[in-house]
Structure 1
């Protein structure tokens, strides 16, 4: 009997695993996007998505997990359907909506969303499942059918007339664009180039137009990277933006070019033509390299004398006479504080230099993630008298990564939260495990960041205009945080409303 029960258990367990694997494959084979959100965690984060959801939205799984579904609406937040979704989540009910969403590259698509709650045995809503379909084509057809046939014909006539009248005007614009423009046919023969191309690459129209691109200048344009772009990448990924090509031209020297390529998918006269915009970034990249070299050299040169000064200040503190005046003690204390600030600034510049040269080193070791976050919070709290930092949640995992670098990220996010919320007095830190990721969020109720600035907040040396006027800094802290998280295979982002605070979050993969 015992043997029979044991065998039944093994069979049942194997059957369950097979059923789960079959279900997962079925979901990934579905043409509908499927997500699951965790209603038990703050902000209802996404904990599962299938392959169709990635394909429809253009985001990778690591960029999806941990986010609230609203990130798909980007700045388009005035849709009434958002209120319907919020009410359905609050009431634990199902709903069906059609709303405007945006792919990672900014492309609009209409989403038909079916959302239903998943409840436990006591009737509590634990999760929500959402099934979405891209109904953009149907919406476009519906909109087109609403327009009267006469209006359509009139618009076509007006547009045709406008295009004819503006042909010379458009041609003059192309001629004056400060980028080299090339038009190719499907066989990669050059149909036309603008004046900037002629001037930059020192060729004539006679030896360029109606010639195979690869044969220009006695084979100077027979560039492997360019062939890869045109023959392999562009046919499957249209358009291609900011594709770097470096080539040593015999007559004009080495050039670093940034290419944007677009295949025109029209019928008729302009079918399958290819447009290439070429930006010469040789000089710009050299300036950036010299700037990085200067930062590296300056930081290293400043580090040595600063360390010596710091040592002298420490000696002065130890040898301070008992009868020293309070004014002298205050000056010495402030000197130590400013030396520490300067030392931290130089350390950040050195980090930027290492990142730019690819020399950032990660020393990955297993460590208690929850303990690391708690200690980081405790250290910041010990030197902060104006704010209270509240830590909630846990992961219960041992993470393999560079502990000191991740602590640097948490310290920077906490310091920024305190710095940019001078009128508020509470910072919230939430720690959680979301699917096979660990997630950390730092939330303040301070100044907030505009949607326009959120797209640049992690760029090197970027600072928001009004913040730059009120608070000192160089705008490299968040850039360093972003690079550290990226080097761990994770994602960092910000959600914020102007005047309503900010929520900085990052996820790190557990695998």
Structure 2
């Protein structure tokens, strides 16, 4: 044992002396091999130009983003191989002059630029110097496809516009009715006052519902949606929702509920299950026709996990085949306008937060059919490892 340790120490010492003599860093032969970094492994485009402004590195993502072959880029001047323009049509390299100008400059922040042909990219540049005020030795450029960023910006802009529009109507109503009541209180009968206050209450609920949707979207998009699992009787929850619709004036004959027992014991968030059911039933009642059929059953062999499956279908015109791929996206609305178009997006997020799935198709009677599954789950304290 002692001899082995001594021998290993001697080998390591010899390696260190040889490395010092050769000017290379020493490496312990017992240490794991370190793989050199390959620029092609990067998710973003990487372009590097040397002190003369000629390209010495053009990685695979840069080839994909610019559609310029690597062999055509390497060795060429930066402004020729990568002729970027800003959104005003000005040549970016002439505008920024990376090898000239003030020596205190360190680079260019990320911005939208145009490739030949008008394709947008997100580009940033870094000027590398051997000493703080020395000449530029390398220009390092990163490129990213701008399409995803633009799509996200459009989505946010559309969300803001939708929210502003949806808030304006109820808030205008609330403000108008309250001003009228304050100014002419004595002129209204008690019944008229009650009617006005009921309208104000309904508009306040509409604003609250919209704010709740926005909070749900924020939590879904950020991955912070918390699921508090408890035993849930989905069949009983369906019954409560149907009773709620009939209490608000829908005919009991409008609904047909079918429960296939035995159902597995389900651990889920009861509030979120209510939200899912409420949204799907509201859509079926508002946009569908004829009987709304709700089936609650154990998941089948076609499903990935054991759990409960709920199917909600109607006898309306259904959803066009070409629109089915967009049903669960933000702001999708059917042929009947109204609402924010956020409900089904939230439903999908709530179902997936439980580990379930949701699909849309055509019902046997010709209307829309939504089916979601919830796996049996486990109590929250077990999923948290307590």
Range into which the TM-score falls when normalised by the shorter chain: 0.5 to 0.7
Secondary structure in 2 matching 1:429: strand
Within the alignment, does 1:453 sit opposite 2:323 as a pair? yes
Q: How far does residue 508 in structure 1 lie from its aligned partner after superposition?
A: 1.4
Within the alignment, does 1:503 sit opposite 2:376 as a pair? no
Kindly tell me: are residues 461 and 499 of structure 1, through their superposed partners in 2, closer, same or farther at Cα, counting changes over 3 Å? farther
Superposition map of 1:10-409 within 5 A: 196-197=66-67, 205-207=72-74, 250=126, 251=139, 255-256=143-144, 279-281=145-147, 283-284=149-150, 287=153, 291=157, 324=189, 326-385=191-250, 388-395=254-261, 396-409=263-276
Counterpart of 1:86 in structure 2 is: none
Q: Which runs of 5+ in 2 are unaligned?
A: 1-44, 46-57, 77-121, 127-138, 301-305, 378-386
Within the alignment, does 1:485 sit opposite 2:351 as a pair? yes
- Paired residues of 2:234 and 2:296 also in contact (CA < 8 A): no
- Paired residues of 1:295 and 1:349 also in contact (CA < 8 A): no
**Distance in 1 (alpha carbons) for counterparts of 2:218 and 2:374:** 24
Greater share of strand residues, 1 or 2? 1
Q: How many residues align?
A: 245
Q: Which stretches of structure 1, 4 residues or more, deviate above 6 A after TM superposition?
A: 246-249, 320-323
Range that drifts further, 325-334 or 363-372: 325-334
Range that drifts further, 412-421 or 369-378: 369-378
Kindly tell me: are residues 441 and 324 of structure 1, through their superposed partners in 2, closer, same or farther at Cα, counting changes over 3 Å? same
Q: Match for 1:427 among 276, 287, 292?
A: 292
**Distance in 1 (alpha carbons) for counterparts of 2:365 and 2:283:** 15
Within the alignment, does 1:462 sit opposite 2:332 as a pair? yes
- Paired residues of 2:312 and 2:370 also in contact (CA < 8 A): yes
Range that drifts further, 405-414 or 375-384: 375-384
- Paired residues of 1:496 and 1:503 also in contact (CA < 8 A): yes
- Paired residues of 2:355 and 2:375 also in contact (CA < 8 A): yes
Q: TM-score, normalised by structure 2?
A: 0.52
Root-mean-square deviation (CA, aligned residues, Å) is: 4.3
Within the alignment, does 1:438 sit opposite 2:304 as a pair? no
Secondary structure in 2 matching 1:463: coil
Q: How far does residue 285 in structure 1 lie from its aligned partner after superposition?
A: 6.0
**Distance in 1 (alpha carbons) for counterparts of 2:154 and 2:250:** 41
Secondary structure in 1 matching 2:197: helix
Answer 1 or 2: higher relative contact order, Cα 8 Å, separation at least 6.
Answer: 2
Give deviations 1:278-325, integer Å, cap 9, x for gaps.
Answer: x434642662686499699x79xx8xx97xx79x98xx9xxx999815
Say which one has the larger Rg. 2
- Paired residues of 2:318 and 2:367 also in contact (CA < 8 A): yes
**Distance in 2 (alpha carbons) for counterparts of 1:195 and 1:254:** 11
- Paired residues of 2:314 and 2:365 also in contact (CA < 8 A): no
Q: TM-score, normalised by structure 1?
A: 0.40
